[in-house]
Amino acid sequence: MATFIAGIFLGVATILALDQRRHADGKKKRPPAGGMRSKHSMMNMTNITWLHKEFHYSNKELIKIGEEMQRDFAKGLASVETGHKAEIPMIPSYITRLPTGREKGEYLALDMGGTNFRLLKISLPGDGTTLIRSTKAKLPDSVLNGDSSDLFGFIAEKLLSFVPESVDGGKQYDLGFTFSFPVVQTAIDQGKLLRWTKGFKTKGVVDEEVVSLLQKEIDARNMNISIKAIINDTVGTLMARALTDKNCVVGLIIGTGCNTAFVEEASRVGKFSHMTPEGGFKKSDMVIVNTEMGNFSGPKLRRTRVDKLLDAQSLNPGMQFWEKMVSGLYLGELVRLLVVVFAEEGKLFLRGDLAEIWKEKGSLSTYTMGLLEADEDPELRVVEAILQRDMNTFGSSLNDRTFLKSICKTISKRAARVAAAGVFATLLQVQRKRVTVAVDGSIFKLYPMFHHWMRDAVEMMIQESGLQTQVEIVDAEDGSGVGAAAAVAALVGA
Ligand code: BGC
């Protein structure tokens, strides 16, 4: 929130400066005669109606998408394959117990899932609370574009500066590794990367044992650190909330990427059947499943022309369709593509040619999109300032700005509602009376209105479908870090 607010302040400051200049010139413009009834605003109305038709999902449609997702969950759960073809992989995390909150000890956690990664030292005093010391670093392009030893070597170096006391037979630490990509696990501390998502492309990691790659670099630096668990951020978020909330059986991330994890009966997880005890699983035996539902692409998820364009230019075409409609890596880009389409059709930015920057992939970030959407000024002067400052676009009309704001809102609202269908699907799958869904991720936490729209849509789907679940969707604090420590503590702790 702080970043958005800071950004908005910056926008407002720029606008005030612009305004003062206008006053000084004595040229402050009056709104166009006829206001919203001008010819262009009539055109805006038609365009906005078109946008609505193309991108809006009714509650009924959302319920259908949720049902379709749930059928895919069931298929993925029954299957023993997590090959590249499996639509929703449904990967068992090998975590079979939720934390009790009584876990104790001091652990390290490493959280990697975007271009920033974090190192955390977490103390669990045994009453469900946590004490955290953490540091954050950015993965430089040389590392992102390099190979596995560049990546894990860089991380190990940072770890070395974070816990120098662990070197040369020094203090021993157990580490939980939150690695937020699709990893096909074969044990709680083993798994191979199925594929990169979120724009990652570091070579030599896909199909490799991720824990071994990192442990090798740690050992090469003579650190007394042992990786005890590799977990997904959705699993971590679920675990972190479960420290204090026994109804928490779903973890959700809506940030750069998106995904869910939930608690499932162990006997229903095909890929976990080799773990069946001699006497068979009891009804109460559970395992947390990382769905990797970002890859959902059922036919009810209508893909428009811009969705197809976005997919074709992405690093993973044909994959992660749900994620490409919902997550932060893609929303700004969808808006940019729509602006280009509308400008080419002569419906937007009519005064002069469209600035070249609009044609550059990634030139409109989701962060900027949020600022455009948050402008409540009647003349949309924040939008105007951003267009000038960031998008080289001068002389926009109020109609242009109104329409641009509608485009942003259309895309973010669709994202929130389609995300809600994912939540509804998990509720259909877990079938419990009371469920807490723990959510983390920048889009859920920071994007204006997103969490309201998502919560409303989930409530509507529950009501209209008659599902007997009382849901609480809560903002999870630092799930990816604390969850990794909780997972390790549950394994080795007191
Ligand atoms: C990854 C998931 C992750 C999600 C949120 C997706 O791109 O495949 O593993 O949970 O992003 O970080």
Our answer to whether residue 207 is catalytic in this structure is no
* pLDDT reading at 314 higher than 60: yes
Nearest to residue 436, comparing CAs of 469, 479, 474? 474
Q: How confident is the model over 9-32, as a mean pLDDT? A: 40
pLDDT reported for residue 489: 84
3-state secondary structure of 173: strand
* pLDDT reading at 375 higher than 50: yes
Residue nearest to ligand 1 atom 2, measured at CA: 181
Model pLDDT for residues 54-68, shown as the tens digit of each residue: 999 999 999 999 999
Confidence of residue 313 (pLDDT cuts 50, 70, 90): very high
Residues 6+ apart with CB under 8 A from 174: 107, 108, 225, 226, 228, 488, 492
Q: Which of 111, 233, 440, 478 is catalytic?
A: 233
Confidence of residue 43 (pLDDT cuts 50, 70, 90): low
pLDDT reported for residue 17: 43
SS3 content of the chain, % helix, strand, coil (to 5): 50, 20, 35
Nearest to residue 377, comparing CAs of 6, 5, 16, 2? 16
From the CB of residue 464, how many other CB atoms can be counted at a distance below 10 Å?
A: 13
Tokens 């994007």 belong to 447
Classify strands 286-290 and 258-265 as parallel, antiparallel or unpaired.
antiparallel
Longest dimension (CA), the chain: 86
Model pLDDT for residues 76-95, shown as the tens digit of each residue: 999 988 765 658 999 999 99
Q: Which of 72, 93, 111, 118 is catalytic?
A: 118
Q: Which residues line ligand 1 (CB under 6 A)?
A: 113, 180-182, 197-198, 232-234, 253, 255, 257-259, 292, 294, 323
* pLDDT reading at 244 higher than 60: yes
pLDDT reported for residue 39: 58
Nearest-angstrom CA–CA distance, 56 and 410: 8
On whether the CB atoms of residues 90 and 273 are closer than 8 A, the answer is: no
Nearest to residue 243, comparing CAs of 98, 67, 405? 98
Nearest-angstrom CA–CA distance, 191 and 196: 14
Q: How confident is the model over 236-246, as a mean pLDDT? A: 92
Instruction: Give the least confident one: 4-13, 100-109, 142-151.
Output: 4-13
Confidence of residue 35 (pLDDT cuts 50, 70, 90): very low
Model pLDDT for residues 160-169, shown as the tens digit of each residue: 999 999 999 8
Instruction: Give the least confident one: 203-207, 351-355, 416-420.
Output: 351-355
Tokens 């449904």 belong to 90
pLDDT reported for residue 1: 41
Q: Alpha carbon 442 to chain centroid distance?
A: 7
- Determine the residue type at 157: E
Highest mean pLDDT out of 28-32, 85-89, 112-116, 320-324: 320-324
**pTM for the whole thing?**
0.90
pLDDT above 90 covers a percentage of the chain that reads: 75
Confidence of residue 297 (pLDDT cuts 50, 70, 90): very high
Ligand 1 binding pocket mutation candidate from 233, 237, 293, 296 (most atoms within 8 A of CB): 233
* pLDDT reading at 16 higher than 60: no
Q: How confident is the model over 102-121, as a mean pLDDT? A: 90
**pLDDT higher for 394 or 84?**
394
On whether the CB atoms of residues 411 and 453 are closer than 8 A, the answer is: no
Nearest-angstrom CA–CA distance, 178 and 109: 7
On whether the CB atoms of residues 469 and 435 are closer than 8 A, the answer is: yes
pLDDT reported for residue 34: 36
Rounded to the nearest whole angstrom, what is the distance from the C-alpha of residue 234 to the centroid of ligand 1?
Answer: 8
Residues 6+ apart with CB under 8 A from 386: 11, 368, 371, 372
Confidence of residue 481 (pLDDT cuts 50, 70, 90): confident
pLDDT above 70 covers a percentage of the chain that reads: 90
Nearest-angstrom CA–CA distance, 87 and 85: 6
Ligand 1 binding pocket mutation candidate from 253, 293, 330, 440 (most atoms within 8 A of CB): 253
- Tell me the average pLDDT of the chain: 89
* pLDDT reading at 9 higher than 70: no
* pLDDT reading at 3 higher than 80: no
Our answer to whether residue 303 is catalytic in this structure is no
Q: What count of residues does the chain have?
A: 494
Our answer to whether residue 180 is catalytic in this structure is yes
Rounded to the nearest whole angstrom, what is the distance from the C-alpha of residue 292 to the centroid of ligand 1?
Answer: 7
Q: How confident is the model over 249-256, as a mean pLDDT? A: 97
On whether the CB atoms of residues 237 and 440 are closer than 8 A, the answer is: yes
Confidence of residue 32 (pLDDT cuts 50, 70, 90): very low
